[in-house]
Structure 1
Amino acid sequence: MSTKYLRRFFKPASIAVFGASDRADSMGGAVLQNLREGGFEGQLIAVNSQGYGQVRGVPCVKSVSELPQMPDLAIICSPPGSVADIIRKLGANMVKAALILTGGLSIRNSREERSLHEEVLDAARPYGIRILGPDCMGLLVPGSRMNASYAHVNIRKGKVAYIGQSGLIGTAMIDWANGQEIGFSHFLTLGDSVDVGIPAVIDYLAQDPYTHAILLQMDRMTGRARDFLSAVRAASRNKLVLVLKSDIVQDDQHKLQLAPGVDDEDRVYDAALRRAGVLRVETSDELYNALETLSRMKPLRGERLAILCNGMGPNALATDRLLKRQGQLAEFSDATREALLSLLPGYWNQRNPVDLNADATPERFAEALSLVSKDPGVDAVLVIHAPTQMAFGAETAEAVIEVARRTARNVLTSWMGRATAIEARNRFNAAGIATFVTPEEAVDAFMQMVEYRRNQEVMRQTPAPYMEQNSQNHVRARELVATARGEGRNFLYHAEACELLDLYDIPVAHSYYADTVEGVVDIAKRLGGSVAVRALHCENVYPFSYDDKVRQRWRDLALDLYSINEVKHATTRLEYRVRERFSDDEVLGFVVQQMKRGFQSLQINVGVTRDPTFGPLLLFGAGGYAVDMLADRQLMLPPLNLALAQALVRRSRVYDIIRENSYQVERDVDQLCELLIRLSEMVVDLPELACLEINPLLLNKRGLLAVDVSVSLGAPVSLSISPYPAYLTESIRLKGSGRPAVVRPIRGEDEPAHLDLYQHLSPDSIRLRYFYSRGVPTHQELATWTQIDYDREMAFIVSAPRLDGLPGDETLGVVRAVTDPDNVRSEFSIVIRDDLQGEGLGVILMQRIVDYCRKRGTLQLYGSTLSSNRGMQALARKLGFKTAYNPEEDVVDMKMMLNEPTEEWQMYRLQQ
């Protein structure tokens, strides 16, 4: 996650290449040649123990000690056994960045039973040297004229950064991109990532002004999932991030490592990447098409697609693909239809897609595109061409290019065929217009952009008003877990699991317990009517215990028992089966419930599981004990708000059933979402909660009812996404009026109150805060300000009940600190409502952010204000900030050291 010294990889002033020779098969020689041919403007030197005078025209020395000066970047292509020693010598000479292209470091050193990989890490650790690789392709930065790789060709300059784990996929991507005339801002593969990992590189590139989008190819997760998701979420706020994640091979050994209740680890990655607001592709073809759209398309205005072609066959292919992907066909306005009627044959059906007819000329293509792209109901246009005698591909392409350059809409093209279509595609590539071989590919590329837009919208949706939690109930929940752990149990008894649900306001069926058949009969007599009896034992107290044997729980369950004889007979048979399989201390008695037939209930499975990589997950889908239940298992990383819960429910086929059968769809969905949010709260409150399964959860006209529940416990774990830090909440009273208020971290639900705060600011206050006059913030801006990643940013607000008698709280002021990924510097900003000046809010908020940043180890807190903002400057000095006028920016800089730096790189960063 740390970006320290990464600048030396991407913008080095000098490079030394170890292991370079003039041999044709020399990797170091190839890298040196690429650096020279790429036009690297810094100092180059080769290092080879053979004592060459020069290698490929570059001066060469024998060892580190003979280097005329230490390089910014060392590129190591030497034999595996020598790498650790080179790293050790470089570190001793204050070199801070090493790119290792050598492979084979996973080989064990037989003398010490350690891998060379571990030896390299041990060699680097005392000196703080950063390592990229080993076994990677290298890195290319066209803006720095640097090709530090063994790639067979160089890359063009562009706006998309590529980060990969596979070197071979990387070289294939370079070759394809050059053929398509697509460029990159940065291109690198990480190999085994012994030190510099994906999160650190994403953090670096997220701050690069020349990188507009990030394309990530990954085979596996390395490092902490929380670091990865935090970096990706932060980058996706401002840049388009797309991920190619290969499917996991599901062998028997790997299945043992799956999260309980999950039959495919790929679903977990889907959930994690969706939660991060990025777009995932699954094949190399999709990756290429995604890069085509990433590098050529403008941001989408919406999802409505218009399709034009000189024939209905290709139109039908595109439309069918669009509808299967849940895409949206644009509907033309009356004005557009009338204009197209004058251009097209009289038998045109006046609908989208538009058939331009087989005799369509280049002029007709251009005019139709011009008309359609001006329609307010159209967000993007796909132009498809099939070769005819009346409209040759190249001429039609030129006509389309002229119109596409003048429109604000995205224009995608598909020139079908090969012999006559290649030239047209080349012209589109040169013009920067996305082009595809088939209509289906073009639609898939468009839908990738749509899905990315949808993910971003879900991530930025304003949550519903916050629901206060019952803290006393949650204390009791923690007691239940502590009791079980104190007794050496890694599960809750059935009665404890039911109580846990009740503590979180989840409706649960009444259960009655007995140790003997006679006890069950007595309960059945008291209840009357039909009952269900379940035998409890050491296996079925655990959630998801049916994964390997889907009918296992049926053996321990008897349903629809009407008469006392039926109860006695069925319970006796259950007892016999259980005693046959388990010892006395493994048998836990019986649970009896009244049957809930006759309500036309939908059975749902909902719960919590724990993934080895991503930690706690919420799951939702069809329930009961059906064999195909796992086919509808939908996953999402907690914590959840209402918007995320709704997205989870709507992906399940349960939602389709509700829409088709329920007369109160909205109520049913809301109840399910509230239950998911409560489970999310439970996960946050109880880090020892390993798994929880409610199966079945009944949904009918009476509402929700959990019929059966089981809970398992484990070692405490953290969530992959930082939850709301409620412990930072503090009650206060305003200095002047004595009004009660709360200082607490901001949350997504505060968006409406945050907008109201802004509307209480005068034009002068807005200018002092933002350094310029500006309009009302958009929803996207407000979502960014309120839905923060607490690992990287903190915003404290002062919140108080409204004085006008309306429900809810209002925000009186806010202070914000955004910290760099290395926790070196944090930039603060503060704004107080105009009508509350003099209440002491500025001191309260600033002191909170100072204390918070100091405690988390941040080295320096800084901010800037206009020279005319005397009040802010006085407040800063009062709190201990040093202020200084910055003539270049015409602002006053305010800085406070919170903790002292301990490493050289930190001191350097503070001086920048």
Structure 2
Amino acid sequence: MQENGLGLQFVERFFQPRSILIVLDSEHLDLARTVLANLSEGGFNGRLGVYGLDDSAGEVTMKGLERVPELKALSPPPDLILFVCRVECVPEPLTTLAERGCAAALIMTGGAHWSESPASEPDSLRARLGTIVTRFGLRIMGPECAGILSTRHNLNASCTSTAIARGRLAYLGQSGMVGHALIDWAAERGIGFSHMVALGDSVDVTLPDVLDYLNLSGGYRALVMHLERIDNARHFMTALREAARHHVVVAIKSGRFERTDLARHGVAPGLSRRDQVLDAALERAGVLRVNASDELIDALETLTRVQSMPGDRVAFVANGLGLSFMAMDALIAQGGTLASLSDATCDALTAQALDVSVRGDNPVDVGSLATPEVFERAVRLVGADPNVDVVITIHAPTRMAPAEEVARRVVASRDAVRGVLMSCWMGLKTAREARLQCQRAGIAHYRSPEKAVDGVMLMVRYRKAQHLLRLTPPNAELVGRDHRRENAQRLIREAFERQRRALTHQECGEVLDAYGVSLGRVHYLQATHSEPVLPAFAPPWQMQAVHEQACMPFSVSDTAECVLRRLTTPIALQEAFAELKARFEARDTPLYSVCVRPERSDVASVGLSVGITRDPVFGPVVFIGRAGHPLDEAEDRHVALPPLNRELAHTLIDQTSARHLLTEQLGSEAWRERLARLLVTLSTLATDVPTLECLNISPLRVSATDVWAEDYRLSVGPPARFAIMPYPDQWVNEELLSEGDSITIRPIRESDAALITEFHRHLSARSIRFRYFRDKPELSQEALARLAQLNYDRQMAFVALESVPKWGSSSGEALGESVTMLGVARVWNDPDNVRTEFSIIIRDDMQGRGLGRRLMTRLIDYSRHVGTLEMYGKIAPDNRAMRALVKALGFTTRLDMEEGVVTARLALNEPATAWQRQRLAQTDP
């Protein structure tokens, strides 16, 4: 739900204004003329007026331009105000226009006066603009906003110098100059735009707000985002994940290092740089990240021309072996896959003498003397091979094969290529026409073999990110018992309430043990004891001192002074205990206790560092890396946003350098699943206890047969806010149906995909028609992901489940439980939490037993709880049971003759603002 700011309130006025007023001064006449020219050339046909803060209004002229002599006399008020004047002059006319009913203002100027205006000072310019937003509900983009473009609405209210064609590429960012450079690049390549928004240093409308608007309005296929700072991580992730499900999204971030970070956020404890957290967030959202401006251009070249890629097996066709080897080196260096041509293709290439170097193999070298016709035949043969997903043609111009003619042949062969066709045209002068031909044909083209390979690997990365976004893994069960986990959660909460900074070593071990994390064998001796009590396990032992610093995660302590090893006798243990006590007495440092463990030098193991830390923007993250010196650990750690499932955990493991070390030293990969389960457990611990600030397990020992924590530290802090809303387990309930049958009603999990599939198989055609208003085919993986994966702050689905014991056919022993889905009810909230749309479907044999009422009541209770104003849904006119149910629950119904449905509505909460009342008054949701 929208928690901060005004959400989408009046945001459409920026993109679909019927009237615009430009407020200007004499210092910005050139900028004003540019904006007016762009509005005219863009085809804006609404009312256009100009008001001068001095005598400047008379110096701008344009056909149809109205001059406004006095703002107070303006009637009706404009939909959008463009401020092209000194930013310090904005508040007074803005207040006057807001009082007249204006709802959207775009401030294009900024400068030193703005940058030196802190929000913390109540009389600062920033604070005054914020007050206007709060008082009137008016929306502001800027200051320092470079403009806004919506070609579908004939709007170009920007200062761009390039004519903009209509297209399906959108730019959304915080820098106008990045957007303008992108527009100029796109114009050269014949790529059009749907939207361009450069927010600048906006005091009100945020990047996620605009992203929500674009998601709702559509009209674009690919989105480029330039990021400078992120304020509300959850809103950002929710809007971004929704965008990436339906569109190609590419992001570039400036301010990746502390010196260039405008927000001046610190680095999360235990990490060496903040940027890796953003990497993890974008990957989790299904977004492709690039780190350089030329990478961004190359990414757009690829993504605007390559719709999809069936696989990652690459074959090269070139008129020179050296060119192919350059490309192959680049592919192998990036971990790409070289296609193995089929026997049939190899035989055909050899028979037709099309491969003059490494005959009948990949790469295919047609030779420097090859004619355009030979080049085309080779491309057609390789492109038809079922073992090839991508064909990259590489051509250097020769007299025998001019680039222009070869390009014509390559374009003609595209339909014969079963996968993706990409091209590389070496050179500049003679290759220009070849590139233009590919550009007109929509074939991705590059200037070097390495760039072409970059294009392929970019698509590989994009496919991987989209896979992670859509996967529906099985459920991961925790090893620990419920009551012990509850005790562990209480222990952490109470430590925070008592203002403790950290748990003791023993308490941290209790928490981990309660969640099923193996600690090995451990024995604690309190420092107040005069003599040590022998542990129950045999020597050799090691003894570790537990003191205040040693309980804080990521603190640097002197291991040589804190740990004594190879203690083989009770006397040695006693002497070691006395020695540690003496050392800390001499240092005047309180010694809490000592921890005794068995030495496990007989077991081959690798030490890792795993745990939880907290990013200033994205909140808790789970990390993994190699154990060692604290600085080395920080450099090697890789992170992921919770909540994690097993496949996400496997992906995180594969990113760290320790992955190859583990495989090499332990021989097999049996450890991999155990380690993934532990990371999922840490993710669950983080979401269960928001007051857990940091947890560092280092070393975590991993052997071929076991994973155990050897040293661990846990700190507490204020409740965290998660970038991805955790599973809302407070809505899990056991209930009894009218016949006394026990069921569970709970929010859906992504691991419920198999249950959903089975549920749909047993629905009648009539039930499916009532739910979807049409026949519903078998569910695809993408459809399953949409149904099972929810952004819980925008969507909710409650499933009704029945658990039946499974018995062995011969032994008669209980073999666990079989879970069946009986029904599901859903709501989809709009970004402002004004309206939510419901749907419900019940298994046919469960209808008439009160289950539908239970699920609908749960939806209503939930929607009221989260502050939604109105619930609505569409019902088939002949679905009499559903119509009767909603009437009994207090809904009003209306037959829509045009759509042929019954619309049901229920008021949930009272609107708090005039805009909310206006939204609710609109008949169309």
Give me the TM-score of the superposition, normalised by structure 1. Answer: 0.94
Letter paired with 1:445: G
Alignment of 1:55-70 (within 5 A): 55-57=60-62, 58-70=65-77
Displacement, 1:890? 2.3
Decide which moves more: 369-378 or 188-197: 369-378
Q: Is the 8 A contact 1:517 1:568 kept in 2?
A: no
Cα distance change on mapping 1:193 and 1:764 into 2, 3 Å: same
* Of 557, 566, 578, the match for 2:563: 557
1:731 paired with 2:734, answer yes
Q: Is the 8 A contact 1:85 1:123 kept in 2?
A: no
Q: Secondary structure at the match of 1:215?
A: strand
Displacement, 1:576? 5.6
The residue aligned with 1:84 is 91
Displacement, 1:672? 0.7
Displacement, 1:465? 2.8
Displacement, 1:629? 2.7
The residue aligned with 2:678 is 675
Letter paired with 1:688: T
The residue aligned with 2:861 is 851
Give distance in 1, aligned partners of 2:497 and 2:865: 32
Letter paired with 2:524: Y
The residue aligned with 2:249 is 241
The residue aligned with 1:501 is 512
Letter paired with 1:194: V
1:647 paired with 2:658, answer no
1:816 paired with 2:816, answer no
Displacement, 1:113? 6.7
Letter paired with 2:23: F
Give distance in 2, aligned partners of 1:165 and 1:345: 51
Q: Is the 8 A contact 1:107 1:115 kept in 2?
A: no
The residue aligned with 1:615 is 619
Give distance in 2, aligned partners of 1:525 and 1:497: 20
Letter paired with 1:211: Y
Displacement, 1:604? 1.2
- Per-residue CA distance 1:747-774 (angstroms, 9 max, x = gap): 0111101000000012232223222223
The residue aligned with 1:701 is 704
* Of 738, 745, 748, the match for 1:746: 748
* Of 540, 544, 562, the match for 2:554: 544
Cα distance change on mapping 1:516 and 1:830 into 2, 3 Å: closer
Displacement, 1:218? 0.7
Q: Is the 8 A contact 1:413 1:435 kept in 2?
A: yes
The residue aligned with 1:94 is 101
1:789 paired with 2:791, answer yes
Q: Is the 8 A contact 1:48 1:63 kept in 2?
A: no
The residue aligned with 1:387 is 397
1:71 paired with 2:75, answer no
Cα distance change on mapping 1:733 and 1:179 into 2, 3 Å: same
* Of 473, 488, 495, the match for 1:463: 473
Alignment of 1:547-626 (within 5 A): 552-562=558-568, 574-575=580-581, 578-579=584-585, 581=587, 583-584=588-589, 586-625=590-629
The residue aligned with 1:766 is 768
Letter paired with 2:462: Y
Give distance in 2, aligned partners of 1:5 and 1:315: 55
Q: Secondary structure at the match of 1:620?
A: strand
The sequence identity of aligned pairs, in percent, is: 38
Letter paired with 2:553: P
Displacement, 1:833? 1.2
Decide which moves more: 569-578 or 212-221: 569-578
Displacement, 1:109? 8.7
Letter paired with 2:276: R
Displacement, 1:844? 1.4
- Per-residue CA distance 1:273-324 (angstroms, 9 max, x = gap): 1122211110001111111122221122222222221122221122222222
Letter paired with 2:788: T
Q: Is the 8 A contact 2:869 2:907 kept in 1?
A: yes
Decide which moves more: 198-207 or 372-381: 372-381
The residue aligned with 2:279 is 270
Gaps (5+ residues) in structure 2? 808-815
Letter paired with 2:60: V
Displacement, 1:853? 1.3
The residue aligned with 1:481 is 492
Q: How many residues align?
A: 901
Q: Is the 8 A contact 2:869 2:910 kept in 1?
A: yes
Give distance in 2, aligned partners of 1:862 and 1:113: 42
Q: Secondary structure at the match of 1:187?
A: strand
Q: Is the 8 A contact 2:493 2:691 kept in 1?
A: no
Letter paired with 2:18: A
Cα distance change on mapping 1:191 and 1:247 into 2, 3 Å: closer
The residue aligned with 1:142 is 151
Give distance in 2, aligned partners of 1:490 and 1:110: 31
Decide which moves more: 292-301 or 375-384: 375-384
The residue aligned with 2:379 is 369
- Per-residue CA distance 1:32-66 (angstroms, 9 max, x = gap): 22212222111111111234346232332244224
- Per-residue CA distance 1:544-567 (angstroms, 9 max, x = gap): 113xxxx74444223334466765
Letter paired with 1:616: P
Give distance in 2, aligned partners of 1:828 and 1:111: 42
The residue aligned with 2:195 is 186
Q: Secondary structure at the match of 1:442?
A: helix
The residue aligned with 2:810 is none
Decide which moves more: 592-601 or 755-764: 592-601
1:689 paired with 2:692, answer yes
The residue aligned with 2:874 is 864
Give distance in 1, aligned partners of 2:771 and 2:496: 52
Alignment of 1:117-128 (within 5 A): 117-128=126-137
Give distance in 2, aligned partners of 1:112 and 1:630: 37
Q: Is the 8 A contact 1:49 1:63 kept in 2?
A: no
1:284 paired with 2:293, answer yes
Displacement, 1:25? 5.5
Cα distance change on mapping 1:571 and 1:804 into 2, 3 Å: closer
Q: Is the 8 A contact 2:493 2:689 kept in 1?
A: no
Give distance in 2, aligned partners of 1:347 and 1:249: 48
Q: Is the 8 A contact 1:73 1:98 kept in 2?
A: yes
The residue aligned with 1:161 is 170
Give distance in 2, aligned partners of 1:295 and 1:764: 42
Cα distance change on mapping 1:117 and 1:407 into 2, 3 Å: farther
Cα distance change on mapping 1:109 and 1:628 into 2, 3 Å: closer
1:337 paired with 2:346, answer yes
Cα distance change on mapping 1:506 and 1:20 into 2, 3 Å: same
Displacement, 1:200? 0.9
The residue aligned with 1:232 is 240
The residue aligned with 2:812 is none
Give distance in 2, aligned partners of 1:484 and 1:868: 58
Displacement, 1:150? 1.2
Q: Is the 8 A contact 1:262 1:630 kept in 2?
A: yes
Cα distance change on mapping 1:836 and 1:42 into 2, 3 Å: same
Give distance in 1, aligned partners of 2:844 and 2:558: 66
Letter paired with 1:504: Y
* Of 394, 414, 421, the match for 1:404: 414
The residue aligned with 2:141 is 132
Displacement, 1:874? 2.6
Displacement, 1:707? 0.8
Once superposed, what is the RMSD of the aligned Cα atoms? 2.6
Letter paired with 2:253: K
The residue aligned with 1:15 is 20
1:825 paired with 2:835, answer yes
* Of 415, 427, 452, the match for 2:425: 415
